[in-house]
Structure 1
Amino acid sequence: MRSAKASYSLHILVVAILATGCSNMVTGAPVPANGLRQDVADSDFEIVGSTDSEIDKTARNALTDINDYWSQTYAELYEDDFEPLTGGYYSIDPDDFDPDDYPDDIGCLDGDPENVANNAFYCFPQSDGGGDNIVYDRTLLESLAADYGRFLPALVMAHEFAHAIQAREPPPSELSIVYETQADCYAGAWTGWVAEDNAEHFNIRAPELDGVVRGYLLLRDEPGESVDDERAHGSYFDRVSAFQEGFDSGAQACRDNYDDERLFTLAEFSPNDGVTGNVPYDEAVTVSERTLEVFWETAFDEVGQQSFVAPELVPFSGDAPDCGGD
């Protein structure tokens, strides 16, 4: 998600990822998928504030593999070398935060650990020279790993890292939904690369992805929200299809297919008076008489029931009764 500070948030529910305040929790019990290789030593990738916990080990392993992927893929897409993030990576427990363990100028955190509570985000480069960093709440990732396996936190990192790619090569759009679904697509492309046995620390088989995708993408915008909303991430279908496109077709499809012309299923509800219909009452009665009888005669014949005898339709002509006090 893109904020006024040009950061993208991964507002994550305790059951999915990507967006504080832009979706609701959906409970469930998918089968966890681990995704971690057992015969490879853990990475020593530098994450400021990280611990020896399993979740920080997972994050280090994931970021190592993600950097490996983009060091290869970025040059293929943009004919230039990938420049590593200059602002670093930060693991934070909002309930156990010691400012002495961190620099004062972590981009988009503003020194307040609550800004990353239940969240993970990439901070775009700032006008003062800060940013270009990833920050995550490790307690949130621990919850996701417990419910969905340790590949899901890796997917969180892949989505956020995709925003770092956009900081270097932005899509031709200002719409939040384009940025977010393109990041989903890039995360899918990385996952496809992992599934092809290219990653050092992670591996996952395609059949295992169902549970992962449920956990990763049960976070979606509520039905009725606008595609133009500055916090829009996309409907469930928008996000799943973006991830699948990247997984199936690779990062080039993500680069080429995300702009203002892309079709999304997210759609704002019309005002109530726009969906009440405008067929004259007498005409509606006539159409009902002609179509309902034919439909039910056919339906009864198909299921072998006795002949359908149509009831008489009697249009209401009196005063409408009260409904709910109105």
Structure 2
Amino acid sequence: MSAPRRAPAAALVAALLLLATACSQVVPGSPRPGLAAAVSPATPAVAARSDPAGRVAAATAEAVQEFWRAEFPAAFGREWRDIGSFAAVETRDPAAPAPPCVNRATDVVDQAFYCPSADVVAWDADGLIPALHDRFGPAGVAVVIAHEVGHAVQSRLGVDAEQARAPQRFPTILLESMADCYAGAALAHFSDNPVAGLPLGPEERDRAMQALVGFRDPLGVEAGDAAAHGNAFDRVSAFQDGWTDGATLCAGMTIENRTFTQRRFASEADLARGGNLPLRELLAFVERDAAEFFGGLVPGWDPPELSTGGACSVAELEVQGPAAYCRADGGVAVDVAALQQLHEEIGDFAGATVLAGRYGIAALDASGRSPVGAQAGAAATCLTGAYTGRLFEAVEGFQLSPGDLDEAVQVLLAADWVARDAAGESDPDDHGFERIGRFRTGLLDGPGACR
């Protein structure tokens, strides 16, 4: 069966960036703010709102609470204690009452948080929640509410008390990852047991992850920083673990068994350019370095060179994306305009990720494995992660910059380019969730895990 014709890569990039740029914007938020205000009187359960985002928030709060009433005793052998209150804060109303743990309603602008001392989950009902709903749909609202309730789960398991005794064992980034993981567990339940008004199929699951990308740390924040919450890769990874393995895995997270990948800028020069090489330099580096890495996987093979023309390139780029493996001549063709647009809108490593996927397909072909079919696309995605893992250490003076893994996550969520085979096809049952999972396997476990 021949591959369907696809839109030229540059046009598809433009369409996908409508989605990708939304998740490249940081959605302000402070899930556990360090506010030392006097606790206000307890607020009632979240009031009904007529706006779509408000209805989703209220429905999610109720559904998440119901989930933990059953899951908490099943996972931990203890009864669940209902959260004291949920507060949808009308931050644009000057006369609105303040929720517990803050002085004014305006303190909650663009925020969602759990306050342990008052046992309240509160959120900005006028700004944050509608913005999430507009960008990501109901799943964007749900993942934020479920994350904050995840902090309440931690409190009920005694993590707050343990942190007070041994803060070095429970840095903020670990607590945030655990809450992301608990959110994944809750939303997985809603996927299997639908909640009215809260669809959670594969596309919505990806949108929840895109929302988490928006809460990533600013570039240059290191995992050990006191206020670190995690980069996009670490946050969506935690969400995935909760979705696939459930609440007991989340509770078992420690600084010893959890890998955090964010880093500071390695040099003033890297900081000055925002972690992005000019596209020409990036292409030259990837051509040399990917050839060395993938060539080492297939002894005796001469890896591809990059090209920008030729009959093969036109046909293959139409179906494979901004970069394509050409079986006829063994090269990798690039659509410079499409890669430049990715470079400008997401970052340099978005393009590097797409290129590495094509080198992965070429390596499969050279090794005697079929470069066509769902298994080829899956293996190429995993090998792309393995190649990325190589760059944690400096190679020719180049190494991963802060934000590079976030850029990889964004392009994996936005498009299936990395997972397309040599015919331009990808597994229709795969979505961003699966692509990131395979990329992560290669990154953490190396090319030997890419079967």
Same fold, TM exceeding 0.5?
Answer: yes
Instruction: Quote the Cα distance in structure 1 between the aligned partners of 2:266 and 2:202.
Output: 39
Label 1:75 to 1:304 Cα distance change in 2 as closer, same or farther (>3 A): closer
Please tell me whether Structure 1 or Structure 2 has the larger radius of gyration of its CA atoms: 1
Instruction: Select the residue among 108, 111, 119 that pairs with 2:111.
Output: 119
Query: The residue matched to 2:233 in structure 1 has which SS?
Result: helix
Deviation, 1:20, is: 5.4
Residue of structure 1 aligned with 2:150, choices 162, 165, 176: 162
User: Does the 8 Å CA contact 1:178/1:260 hold for their aligned counterparts?
Assistant: no
- For residue 65 of structure 1, what is the aligned residue in structure 2? 63
Identity of aligned residues (%): 24
Residues 96, 301 of structure 1: CA spacing in aligned structure 2 closer, same or farther, 3 A cutoff?
Answer: closer
Consecutive unaligned residues in structure 2, runs of 5 or more: 1-22, 32-43, 163-168, 270-287, 293-301, 307-328, 332-451
Write the distance in 2 (CA, Å) between the matches of 1:55 and 1:300: 50
The answer to whether the 8 A contact 1:65-1:201 is kept is no
1:17 & 1:190 partners in 2: Cα distance?
A: 22
Deviation per CA, 1:30-68: give whole Å up to 9, x if none. xxxxxxxxxxxxxxx9315x5333222211111111011
- Deviation (angstroms), 1:210: 1.9
C-alpha distance in 1 between matches for 2:71 and 2:249: 12
Deviations 1:148-173 (A, max 9, x none): 11221111110000011111114463
Q: Supply the distance in 2 between the matched residues of 1:239 and 1:113 (Cα, whole angstroms).
A: 28
**2:217 maps to 1:221:** yes
Q: Which whole-Å CA distance do the structure 1 matches of 2:260 and 2:304 have between them?
A: 40
State the one-letter code of the partner of 1:69.
Answer: F
Q: How far apart, CA to CA, are the structure 2 residues paired with 1:267 and 1:148?
A: 28
Distance in 1, matches of 2:305 and 2:222, equals: 45
* Gap change, CA 1:271 and 1:96, over 3 Å in 2: same
Return the alpha-carbon distance in structure 2 between the equivalents of residues 212 and 301 of structure 1: 38
Most deviating of 220-229 and 232-241: 220-229
Aligned-pair distance for 1:299?
Answer: 6.9
Which residue of 13, 19, 37 corresponds with 2:29? 19
Q: Which residue of 2 aligns with 1:142?
A: 130
Q: CA shift at 1:269, angstroms?
A: 3.4
Task: Report the 3-state secondary structure (helix = DSSP H, G, I; strand = E; otherwise coil) of the residue aligned with 1:67.
Answer: helix
Q: CA deviation at 1:178?
A: 0.3
3-state secondary structure, aligned to 1:122? strand
RMSD over aligned CA atoms reads 3.5
Shift of 1:146: 1.5
Q: How does 1:125-136 map to 2 (within 5 A)?
A: 125=117, 131-136=118-123
- Aligned partners of 2:91 and 2:108 also within 8 Å: yes
* Residue type of the alignment partner of 2:95: D
Instruction: Give the 3 Å change call, closer, same or farther, for CA 54–14 of structure 1 in structure 2.
Output: farther
> Under a length normalisation based on structure 1, what TM-score does the superposition of the two structures give?
0.64
Residue correspondences, number: 240
Name the CA shift for 1:132/1:300 in 2 (closer, same or farther; >3 Å): closer
Q: Could you tell me the TM-score, scaled by structure 2's length?
A: 0.47
Question: Which aligned pairs between 1:144-293 and structure 2 lie closer than 5 A?
Answer: 144-171=132-159, 173-197=169-193, 199=195, 202-270=198-266
Compared CA separation, residues 208 and 55, structure 1 to 2 (3 A): closer
Instruction: Evaluate the alpha carbon distance shift between residue 124 and residue 20 of structure 1 in structure 2; reply closer, same or farther with a 3 A threshold.
Output: closer
Contact 1:175 1:260 in 2 (8 A): no
The ranges of structure 1 where at least 4 consecutive aligned residues each deviate by more than 4 angstroms after the TM superposition are 13-18, 198-201, 270-273, 298-305
Task: Tell me the CA shift for residue 15 of structure 1.
Answer: 5.4
CA shift in 2, pair 1:168/1:300, >3 Å: closer
Structure 1 residues not aligned, in runs of 5+: 1-12, 22-44, 126-130, 274-290, 306-326
Q: Deviations over 1:160-211 (max 9, x none)?
A: 0001111111446320000001100110111111111254663411243223
Question: Of Structure 1 and Structure 2, which has the larger fraction of its residues in helix?
Answer: 2
Instruction: Supply the distance in 1 between the matched residues of 2:87 and 2:251 (Cα, whole angstroms).
Output: 27
* 1:53 and 2:51 matched: yes
Q: Counterparts of 1:189 and 1:54 in 2: how far apart (Å)?
A: 24
Tell me: higher relative CO, structure 1 or 2? Use CA pairs within 8 A at least 6 residues apart: 1
CA contact (8 A) 1:188 1:246 kept: yes
Displacement after TM superposition at 1:133 (Å): 0.5
* AA partner of residue 116 (structure 2): F
Q: Contact 1:74/1:82 (CA < 8 Å) preserved in 2?
A: yes
